[in-house]
Amino acid sequence: MTQSGSTEFAKTAAAGGAGDVYGGAAGAAASSSSDVLLNNFQLKKKSYRVLLHGQHLVWERMQRQSVKRPNETQKVPLPEQQLTAGAESSYGAHSHILHMDDIISICTGNSKHESLQPPPSNRDQQQADGDTKPTAQFLTINYAERLSKSKTDCNRWQLRRITFYNADAYIVRQWQLQLQARVASSPTGGQRVQRLLVFINPFGGRKAGAQTYERFVRPLFQLAGIDATCITTQRANQIRDILLTHDLSCYEAVCCVGGDGTVAEVINGLVFRRMRELGLDEQRPAYIPRPTLPVAVIPAGSTDTIVYSMHGTADVRTAAIHVVLGQRRGLDVCSVSNNRTLLRFCASVLSYGYLGDVAAESEQYRWMGTRRYEYSGVKAFFSNRGYDAELQLLEEPTEPETPQSPASVYTEPPSVCYANCQRCSIASSLQEQRSTLFAANADESREELQPQQAEQQKKSAEQQAQPNDDATVAVNCESQLNEIETALYRSQLLRPTSLPLQPGGSYGSNMSLPSGLQLKTIRGNFFLICGANITCACARSPNGISRYSHLGDGCLDLILVRKTSFLNNVRFLLNTAGRAGDIRNLPFVEVYRTRKFIFRTLTTPATEENLSLAGSRQPIAQNGSDGVSSEYSSWNCDGEVVTDLDITMSSHCQLIDVFMRGPHSYSKPQKPGVSVPTTPVSSSDNIYCCCKD
């Protein structure tokens, strides 16, 4: 909700022009979203003029006009700009504007207390009651509002409600029907879920997952009319097993209440379920399919880096509000594999060295709760161990290929990911084109390969050729998208680095090189090796370990911290903890943006004995002290421990949809002389509104 404008409120209703202005009981018939609805209501015993115009609900207090002499004329200032239907500047200076995308529910009642109650669960019955004589005189609108002026956390959202009164019950009913219709027809109205499967992890973080859901989340879901089926987990990998084996056709989304490990378990379950539905080899898939169900995340863990990176805060109400409003964005997911098989999928960070030691050490102190990370972190920090390793990655060229080509993305100041991020929007459009081409090529390939035999022979031939056909289609789509990706990415200072999993290729050592890319090999002794899929921000590290990582651009940041002195390690931690710090300025830190990297140790070749999961695809947490010598570290994958020594990490652009709008930049004034990451005006001054396209 915002305040705006420089012109009169009443002129906007006339400027709407596309429909009628309804008054009284007239206009009981349904109208289109371009029509205008204008009536007088009472709000806190004061008269207000309320306007419903397009996707905006506007209300303004009615002022008394002083009596003027007959010959006296009142001078009215000219508007600053021409009236535009739907623009905020078209309304009065004291108007309050609410967009339909931010409305949670609309309720009516014979009293104010009755209108504040959650809507009935059977909405069809509620619509059927429209034929009876209306009696409700109170109209309550429940909506969400971002605390954009907050000095501490401008990314938090809160529940608001406003109650209008009108003595004419027919007017109240007309407004209720119109508001409900326009909310349903809004851009995000069709994405709102009605049936939700909720997994609650009662053991994660502070072990308050069940209490968090009952106190903060369930009331919001009931207010929005969401039918939620809750399952409280009792063991590790139970969520994954349920997602793989149970029928999910009656649900529109999957929600998890827990930490980063719970989120990773949900994502792994959905992706592997989709592989089974398509008949792909789960150990060596030709490509990684996109799950059909979106994911909602409610924070109830120790650090909740995934939620913090998505929303800019780990507030529970904010996460629940985004689920209710239904707006979604694509989130990158990384696949983690060894020389033999695909192990699991990673949503936040894959770390080796310091953070891997912290994760392995903290497994022994789970009884300490969230304090175990502090204790294990201090122990690993003072040990200051380094590990020899070799990494191979595809580095984007720093020089343009032609004089007409724009400069590389690395020659410009790095940008952070924000709401309505342009870089992620371009990647989203590429994914839509990729899906379209894949579907078209799949149909053509299957028609060409269909044998001219009997019906039974046709079915058997299709079943046998299905995996190979999908693999061929995946490779053909990648080759056809090269020109499209190059054109779109170059226009926005981005470069395509498409790296699909090649059918029949090795998951460890072989790496295909698309045109224009160079293979870079890095060897050394490292204190920390980190593959960041997101910023990995949290309350203690607001910028995260990779502040310039984007949520849905299809790239990951490879962060290499060389083994140096204890003092340099302190400098590294201070730069990750503060808002003004930037680890790229440290001489012993290297950051590479890539889509795939390969890691291997220098002292011992990879053998079957070094594989922690022995080819298993299940995301099972392993004890860092089992099967691995103290000479090596462990991998920290979304808070879980993996002890494989040779790892390949590949990014998959917007593999899964999550309920979020994206974070907003911190609004606290920066100190003079401190460099600030570049962000657009709509996020740096925190005036982003979902009513803006």
> Hey, CA dihedral for 248, 254, 258, 263, is it positive or negative?
positive
Count of alpha carbons within 13 angstroms of residue 292, beta-carbon side: 12
Cβ neighbors of 195 (< 8 A, separation 6 or more) are: 226, 227, 228, 229, 250, 251, 252
Whole-angstrom distance, CA of residue 476 vs CA of residue 458? 24
Question: What are 182-240's pLDDT values in tens digits?
Answer: 999 888 877 899 999 999 999 887 788 999 999 999 999 999 999 999 999 999 899 99
Q: Is residue 603 within 8 Å of 388, Cβ to Cβ? A: yes
Region for residue 381 given its phi and psi (left: phi exceeds 0; alpha: psi -120 to 50; beta: otherwise): alpha
pLDDT for 136: 93
Whole-angstrom distance, CA of residue 357 vs CA of residue 271? 28
Average pLDDT over residues 428-452: 64
Q: Is residue 99 within 8 Å of 55, Cβ to Cβ? A: yes
Which residue has tokens 């949670």? 104
The torsion angles phi and psi of 549, rounded to 5 degrees, stand at -75, 140
- pTM > 0.85: yes or no: no
Per-residue tokens: 671: 């100190």
Average pLDDT over residues 460-469: 47
The torsion angles phi and psi of 311, rounded to 5 degrees, stand at -105, -15
Count of alpha carbons within 13 angstroms of residue 170, beta-carbon side: 10
Q: Is the model's pLDDT at 503 over the cut of 70?
A: no
Q: What amino acid occupies position 114?
A: E
Please list the residues that pair with 254 across neighbouring strands: 197, 295
pLDDT for 446: 53
Question: What are 304-331's pLDDT values in tens digits?
Answer: 999 999 999 999 999 999 999 999 999 9
Region for residue 512 given its phi and psi (left: phi exceeds 0; alpha: psi -120 to 50; beta: otherwise): beta
Whole-angstrom distance, CA of residue 212 vs CA of residue 221? 13
Q: Which parts of 628-681 are beta strand (E)?
A: 635-637, 640-642, 647-659
pLDDT for 552: 92
Q: DSSP code of 45?
A: T
* 231-251 b/e (C-beta count within 10 Å ≥ 16 → b): eebeebbbbbebbeeeeeeeb
Average pLDDT over residues 161-167: 95
Rg of the Cα atoms in the chain: 28
Segment (H or E) for 46: strand 46-53
For residues 645 and 90, the model is more confident at 645
Q: DSSP code of 213?
A: I
With bands split at pLDDT 50, 70 and 90, how would you rate the model's confidence at 267?
A: very high
Q: DSSP code of 610?
A: G
User: Per mean pLDDT, which of 31-40, 407-416, 567-576 is the most reliable?
Assistant: 567-576
pLDDT for 382: 85
Tell me the H-state helices in 365-506.
Answer: 371-383, 422-448, 455-491
Q: Is the model's pLDDT at 404 over the cut of 50?
A: no
Per-residue tokens: 626: 């089992």
Please list the residues that pair with 557 across neighbouring strands: 532, 593
For residues 137 and 128, the model is more confident at 137
Whole-angstrom distance, CA of residue 109 vs CA of residue 141? 12
Q: Is residue 66 within 8 Å of 28, Cβ to Cβ? A: no
With bands split at pLDDT 50, 70 and 90, how would you rate the model's confidence at 70?
A: low
